[in-house]
Amino acid sequence: MKKIILTVVFMMLLGSASGISSLFSRPEFGKLPAGQRLERIKASPNYADGAFRNQLATTLFSDGAGHFSVLWEFMFGGHRRVKPAGALPVVKTNLKALNRDQDVVIWLGHSSYFMQLGGHRILIDPIFSAYAAPFSFLNRAFKGDYPYSAADMPGIDYLIISHDHWDHLDYPTLAALKPKITAILCPLGVGAHLEYWGFAPDIIHESDWGQKWTFSPGLTVHVLPARHFSGRGLTSNKTLWASFMLETPLRRIFYSGDSGYGPHFARIGDMFGEVDLAIMENGQYDKSWKYIHMLPEQVAQAATELGAKSLLPAHSGRFSMSNHAWDDPYRRLAAASADKPYKLLTPEIGEVVVVGNAGQIFNAWWENKGL
């Protein structure tokens, strides 16, 4: 949420129409859907009155909170420890040397994941930049050297983008990755940004909720609902947001994208049954925007409703976009998971998670007193 507030404030301070026009012409802002893409969007049951909408009535701010009060609290609330004092632990894994036939997931920080599933190499919401915003002085990453870049990635069979917010759709990262990407899966409208950035239209697969892509051999990606919003400038909800179920004959892996809690998690659980691994957003929350980002206790409940065997938290550990302490998501989720039927997985950035390995153990690294 900080990313939105800071960006809006910066726009307001520009003071001239020509300045705003110049800013929005920068390639980082992408392009809104138009032409045939927009006509397809208009046919979606999730689109009405010029914007996408959630399945459940959802406001950006909750409990009567307004834009001004949220901004005031953000700017002058005296929040502490929103960033760690030192660098978080990071493991530099040679992704190119991994056995392609082994099902693994590597958290690359925030909501970025490298995955091998059914022999396919998959990259989710990559952001290798040192900032998650349209300008490099906004929303800087935590201290420490970040060891991953596009050069460290092997060839990517499928790039998955959950929505077009700056911390999930990063222009510099995608520009560097372009030669390595074979196909892209994204929600409706997001392809407009990607085509504008030079990706070939025939490798971009845009989908509405409830649609799926089946690839050979044996990988199906289901595009599913999330409870969130979208936008890279001053317009919102012109592109769709989504969660995903990745399914092979042996595995099911769910990725929530950004989402508030809602009945869609139980519906997805009923639809698919047991899930081997649920990758769930767990960070950047606040009581004032609880409908668009889950609290840790809600993450635990949602993972249970999904029927997850194991839970891997996302959306924290590299950027601070909210008012909570940087380690609050881990402490609260660990406590909320104590009596749940799933196994909580807490790897360091870059550690290999072997899907289905119930004996794998990870440390509570966030309890390091130096952080």
3-state SS string for 294-327: CCHHHHHHHHHHHCECEEEEECECCECCCCCCCC
- Strand-pair partners of 223: 244
Least confident window among 10-19, 42-51, 68-77, 105-114:
10-19
What mean pLDDT do residues 225-234 have?
95
Cα four-point dihedral sign 134, 135, 137, 143: positive
What mean pLDDT do residues 71-97 have?
82
DSSP code for 365: G
Render the burial of 264-285: b for 16+ CB within 10 Å, e for the rest: bbeebbeebeebbbbbbbbbbb
CB count within 10 Å of CB 249 equals 9
- Kindly state the tokens that stand for 144: 């420490």
pLDDT digits (tens, 9 = 90+) for 149-191: 999 999 999 999 999 999 999 999 999 999 999 999 999 999 9
**What domains can be seen in the chain, in order of their start residue?**
2-367 (3.60.15.10)
Dihedral (Cα; 345, 347, 349, 352), 10-degree rounding: -100
pLDDT digits (tens, 9 = 90+) for 320-361: 999 999 999 999 999 999 999 999 999 999 999 999 998 999
pTM of the shown model:
0.93
- Kindly state the tokens that stand for 314: 């996302």
> In what order do the strands lie in the sheet containing 156-160?
204-207, 181-187, 156-160, 120-124, 113-117, 104-107, 352-354
